Amino acid sequence: MLKEYDCWLQKRKIGLTIKIPDAVYVQGDSEIITQAAKEYVNGIQRLANVTPKIETKKTANSSLPKAWLGLISDMEKQALFSNLAAGAEGFVIKIADNNIYIAGKDDAGLLYAVFRFLSLLACGKIKDNFEISETPASSLRIINHWDNLDGTIERGYAGNSLFFKNEKIVYDSQRIEDYARLLASIGINRISLNNVNVRNRAKLLITEVYLEQLAELAAIFRRFAIRLFISVNFASPRDPGVLKTADPLDADVIKWWKECASVVYKYIPDLAGFIVKADSEGESGPFQYDRTHAHGANMLASAVKPYGGEIIWRCFVYNCQQDWRDKKADRAKAAYENFKPLDGKFDDNVILQIKFGPYDFQVREPVSPLFGALKKTRHIMELQITQEYTGHQIDLCYLPFMWEDIMNFDTGEKSIKDLIKGFAAVVNTGLDNNWTGHTLAQANLYGYGRIIWNPSLDAKEIAHEWCALSFGQNETAEKISSILLKSYPAYEKYTSPFGICFMVTPGLHYGPNIEGYEYSRWGTYHRANVKEIGIDRNETGFVNQYAKKNADIFSDPKKCPQNLLLFFHRLPYDFIMKNGETLLQNIYDTHFEGYDEVLEMLEQWKRLKKNLDNAVYESVLSRFERQLLNAREWRDQINTYFFRKTGIGDSKGRLIYD
């Protein structure tokens, strides 16, 4: 039976496919290697109910078959896997003559190798003569928390913060260790704990008020090869009693940040660096001083450089005071316009973090044209695991389904999976016992780690893997996997149609409010009238930010992928779609279908009752019931809205309220 807290690291006696040796020989005694050995022993206990004895050089009894854990370069029998190559943080695993060889390219690689071995064992894949080598596709595999010091989480749907409460650092160290274990098991190697909107006392996280405790947290993550980032406020030097300015070219400001870095690194010598949200949604930034973002980022980069630190600079910079009357302005163009001209002007320890789409984590957006356009600046992609716009972890929405599309997007030169060597994602975890609110939303956290480790994995494989690890290798797991795979298309169908975006309740971002953002300052309009809907992005020039090959596709409504049609085009309701039906009819169809698909998922879930732990069954069931109400609201509000605009009913005669 599933223990929600344990996620994909369930204690379950599996049918063993190899003989597990009585001893594990551990070569090396670094903190991470020691942790890797513990994970091996605990993992074997959890899956096979036996406890391998740890041997080291001093205690080794050499004649019997063993599990051998160490670095590839230290392994005596290196020749055994000389045909297997592994790069940084990579590993090899080989089974030969009843011995198990688990070897990392480096310490982190060994830890990942142990976790991979255990999950392959749990999935029944480890057999005699099995061998595998892996290297992560991305070197930066980051989790961003948006946790506030008062314990709330911006866009959090799974309880309060794991780290903060009442303006203090408050945590359960066992829980943080369990969290670090979960993250390391899917290859995460960096984490930021505090919200990118760094307000009030969160600004003091880089001071001695909090650093001692932050260092204690860093120490837990360090054992799992995870390094901390801290989100900082660009205007901190300007706080009362400090300086009068935060101008990045001001000598006192430069000095202030250098001193700040020297204090921070005294406490956390391996701090990965700072994350900055500047000139964005009300946060201060270099624009206030007529400086560029390169000035701002480079100034901070030089402060952390002596310690090997890096600056992650977010590209979520746009005018959030737009006038809806102004049809020339196009928010979608902002990231490219702000950062493309600065390409090559950033220091080498600056990394730009770009949201995957030009807007803001919508259900369907094109990949941002900034990917592929930046040639001389390090940059990574930002995803959102927390379901801000994808159902608040009430609605089931299996995100790897969309991430797979992103990975395969060809920027014109290369696909994202070949081009991008780092990812960050806003995480969906909190203090809820199951970490993610909706138990099945654990699949999104798991899927994030897996797909950025190996972007050639598809959403289906990941779903199968997660289900098998969570529920066991059985028919129930298969059925849950098929529910997961239905969930994204269903969500997409009952919410904003064909890439139109932002028909959500303003502020909250759950449930429909079709004109909620229409007359607002946020720059996200659909401009529906009685004849047509959408923004013509040929006209705004957004399409031309893409490489020619993509611009040609997106600019033509006949070639544009249908799920993005209304992102790029303003079209009449009688526009004929690929299936020969009108756009309007397609809107009706998808909304009826989306609701029906939720109903079907709910029924499928009910049929699994007898095979599931009751608490898990009930909690997921109640979420499906709420999702059904949400889908009904979306379906009916969208259909009624367009019916009222057009006066044209559903060609299939289904009920649309007038």
Q: Which of 128, 259, 281, 348 is catalytic?
A: 281
Chain Cα centroid distance, residue 37: 28
Q: Which of 330, 388, 395, 492 is catalytic?
A: 388
**H/E segment holding residue 282:** none
What SS3 state is found at 216? helix
User: At closest approach, how far in Å is the CB of 386 from ligand GCU?
Assistant: 10
Give the residue from 395, 353, 454 showing the smallest Cα distance to 132.
Answer: 454
Establish if 502 lies at the interface with ligand GCU (CB under 6 A). Answer: no
Q: Which residue has the tokens 């022993």?
A: 41
Establish if 164 lies at the interface with ligand GCU (CB under 6 A). Answer: no
Chain Cα centroid distance, residue 212: 29
Establish if 544 lies at the interface with ligand GCU (CB under 6 A). Answer: no
Q: What binding mask, one character per residue, do residues 109-148 give for ligand GCU by CB under 6 A, x or -?
A: ----------------------------------------
What does the alpha-carbon distance between residue 453 and residue 465 come to, in Å, rounded to a whole number?
14
Give the residue from 173, 159, 164 showing the smallest Cα distance to 200.
Answer: 164
Establish if 152 lies at the interface with ligand GCU (CB under 6 A). Answer: no
* CB closer to ligand GCU, 84 vs 198: 198
What does the alpha-carbon distance between residue 304 and residue 639 come to, in Å, rounded to a whole number?
54
Q: What binding mask, one character per residue, do residues 194-213 give for ligand GCU by CB under 6 A, x or -?
A: --xx----------------
Q: State which of positions 85-114 bind ligand GCU (CB under 6 A).
A: none
Q: Which of 106, 134, 360, 382 is catalytic?
A: 360
Establish if 277 lies at the interface with ligand GCU (CB under 6 A). Answer: yes
Q: Which residue has the tokens 């806003």?
A: 426
The two structure tokens encoding residue 155: 């866009």
DSSP 197-214: S--GGGGGGGSTTTHHHH
User: At closest approach, how far in Å is the CB of 353 from ligand GCU?
Assistant: 10
* CB closer to ligand GCU, 180 vs 198: 198
* CB closer to ligand GCU, 287 vs 641: 287
Query: 202: left (phi > 0), else alpha (psi -120 to 50), else beta?
Result: alpha
The answer to whether 177 is a known catalytic residue is: no
* CB closer to ligand GCU, 72 vs 232: 232
Give the residue from 443, 439, 449, 451 showing the smallest Cα distance to 481.
Answer: 443
What does the alpha-carbon distance between residue 119 and residue 329 come to, in Å, rounded to a whole number?
50
Q: Of 38, 46, 155, 626, which one interacts with ligand GCU (CB under 6 A)?
A: 155
Neighbouring C-beta atoms of residue 533, cutoff 10 Å: 23
For the chain, the maximum distance between any two Cα atoms, rounded to a whole number of angstroms, is 84
Q: Of 360, 365, 492, 597, which one interacts with ligand GCU (CB under 6 A)?
A: 360
* CB closer to ligand GCU, 31 vs 281: 281
Q: Of 74, 150, 154, 216, which one interacts with ligand GCU (CB under 6 A)?
A: 154
The answer to whether 410 is a known catalytic residue is: no
User: At closest approach, how far in Å is the CB of 382 from ligand GCU?
Assistant: 8
Establish if 293 lies at the interface with ligand GCU (CB under 6 A). Answer: no
What SS3 state is found at 516? coil
User: At closest approach, how far in Å is the CB of 572 from ligand GCU?
Assistant: 31
Establish if 513 lies at the interface with ligand GCU (CB under 6 A). Answer: no
Establish if 365 lies at the interface with ligand GCU (CB under 6 A). Answer: no
Q: State which of positions 380-409 bind ligand GCU (CB under 6 A).
A: 388
Helices 211-222, 251-267: crossing angle, 10 deg rounding: 50
Q: State which of positions 302-321 bind ligand GCU (CB under 6 A).
A: 316
- How many CA atoms within 13 Å lie on the side-chain side of 24? 26
* CB closer to ligand GCU, 131 vs 154: 154
The answer to whether 388 is a known catalytic residue is: yes
Establish if 432 lies at the interface with ligand GCU (CB under 6 A). Answer: no
What does the alpha-carbon distance between residue 143 and residue 140 come to, in Å, rounded to a whole number?
10
What SS3 state is found at 598? helix
In sequence order, which residues have a C-beta less than 8 Å from that of residue 337 and are 6 or more positions away? none
Per CB under 6 A, residues contacting ligand GCU are 154-155, 196-197, 277, 281, 316, 360, 388
Catalytic amino acids? 281, 360, 388
